[in-house]
Amino acid sequence: MLDPAAFRAALTPGRAVLGIDVGTKTLGLAVSDITRTIATPLTTLARAGLARDLASLAGIVAEREITGLVIGLPLGLDGRQGPRAQAVRQFGRDVRQRIPLPCLYWDERLSTAAVERVLIGEADLSRKRRRALVDRSAAAYILQGALDALANLSSRPPPPTQRQ
């Protein structure tokens, strides 16, 4: 996995990035636009075993001409990596073996809770409808955070030079 600056440098211009919210039962997917400005929920895949999961992801990557992957990393509130984060890192290693694209882990703390609040409070959706949308919406939330950070990398002024 790359750091944000290396990830951004490795991306092909004019191609989208795929965000992945890795769950035990589902994979929530979101896709960016080709300018990598806006993340949009794409779909939720039911987990069907690693080989099938990777085949499904590879198909979406090929169909949409994806240039990089942002994988949500479930850190604890204290920033520590627990068993779930380790499982996601293993999934990321498996993905990279099958899909040789630049990958970035992105902190997903509270992403599902934030999406749930929006779906309950602002969208006023039923529990059944929320369940259908939450994973892909969480993937979009994660991906949007990464896209915003990547955009801010280019807007930072260069470090001051020292005169000698």
Q: Which domains does the chain have, with CATH numbers?
A: 4-151 (3.30.420.140)
CA pair distance 65, 60, nearest whole angstrom? 8
pTM flag (> 0.85): no
Question: What's the rounded mean pLDDT across residues 139-154?
Answer: 90
Q: For position 108, what pLDDT does the model report?
A: 84
Q: Determine how many CB atoms are found less than 10 A away from the CB of residue 97.
A: 9
| Residue of 124, 71, 127, 120 whose CA lies nearest to 99 | 71
134-146: pLDDT as tens digits: 788 889 989 999 9
Question: 56 is written with which tokens?
Answer: 């499904």
